[in-house]
Structure 1
Amino acid sequence: MASRMQTNTLDWIESHADRWAIGLSGLCMVHCLTSAVLLALLSTAGGLLLNPLFHEIGLTIAIGLGILALGRGIVQHGYMMPASVGALGLGIMAGAMNLPHDGSSGETVWTLVGVGLLALGHDLNRRAVN
């Protein structure tokens, strides 16, 4: 009985992983835009939101959800395109983390491009599964 419950729970998590990942991508976009606006308006509040640890944890969560959801999609439907688009987005996000936070490097723009591609990959994956 317990293993059946565990299986149902894992199935539920796997079936909803793309939606969670798309939601996380949306939150990341909101965070990036909010950080940029707050940085322009209030440098002290912007500094708190631009803490590198915050970004490292967020990217780690995004990579974990990407592996789970996009990997599951490859196994279920056999299409590599959603995972490839998502991986490109993750790579751009990781690259943007290495840019200076000075506002002139385009870090926010590159992060938003990466997040958008990652969300697109998850959406393609979700559509292919359904």
Structure 2
Amino acid sequence: MADTFLSIRQRFDRAGILLAGLCALHCVATIVVVSALGLGSHFLLSPEIHRFGLALALIIAAVAIGWGALKHRRAAPFVTAMTGLTFMGGALAIPHGAGEAILTLIGVVLVSAGHLLNLRPASRSD
């Protein structure tokens, strides 16, 4: 039973890392496509995409990071991921542009790092 829960948590951590990577790709692609071609700005810069992405990141992190924190009692994954989610939330509060992209990219890197830290103890002590 414990192995099943570990496997589910690891999948959530991996999903969180994938989501963070997709978010980073979206940020970079949006800047390149909108700047270079002027295409897709309505869709790519839509606040709904960013809100949905943050909500999904919050859910995945709450399950994976929260579960991991309860299991292995290490604060580093939790603090790292929550700091990243804070940066991502802060990016929603400012206008589109370089500042928003920088905050978002910092956030997704930190959230990914939190998930990676959360996976490390799973392979050693869980």
Task: Tell me, in whole angstroms, the C-alpha distance in 1 between the residues paired with 2:77 and 2:89.
Answer: 18
SS of the residue corresponding to residue 100 of structure 1 reads coil
Task: Tell me, in whole angstroms, the C-alpha distance in 2 between the residues paired with 1:109 and 1:39.
Answer: 16
Task: Tell me, in whole angstroms, the C-alpha distance in 2 between the residues paired with 1:43 and 1:71.
Answer: 41
How is 1:8-47 mapped onto 2 (pairs within 5 angstroms)?
8=4, 12-47=7-42
Task: Tell me, in whole angstroms, the C-alpha distance in 1 between the residues paired with 2:22 and 2:39.
Answer: 21
1:96 matched to 2:94? The reply is no
Question: Is the 8 Å Cα contact of residues 17 and 69 (structure 1) preserved in structure 2?
Answer: yes
Could you report, residue by residue, the CA deviation over 1:31-76 in whole angstroms, capped at 9, with x for unpaired residues? Answer: 0100111110233412311100011001000000000000111111
How is 1:1-130 mapped onto 2 (pairs within 5 angstroms)?
8=4, 12-101=7-96, 103-104=97-98, 106-130=99-123
Runs of 4+ in 1 over 3 A off after TM superposition: none
The answer for unaligned runs of 5 or more in structure 1 is none
TM-score using structure 1 length: 0.86
SS of the residue corresponding to residue 90 of structure 1 reads helix
Q: Percent identity?
A: 36
Displacement of 1:11 in angstroms is 5.5
SS of the residue corresponding to residue 40 of structure 2 reads helix
RMSD: 1.8
- Tell me the number of residue pairs that the alignment of Structure 1 and Structure 2 aligns: 122
Larger radius of gyration between Structure 1 and Structure 2: 1
SS of the residue corresponding to residue 110 of structure 2 reads helix
Could you report, residue by residue, the CA deviation over 1:67-116 in whole angstroms, capped at 9, with x for unpaired residues? Answer: 00001111111101101100000000000111111x35x11111100100
The answer for unaligned runs of 5 or more in structure 2 is none
TM-score using structure 2 length: 0.89
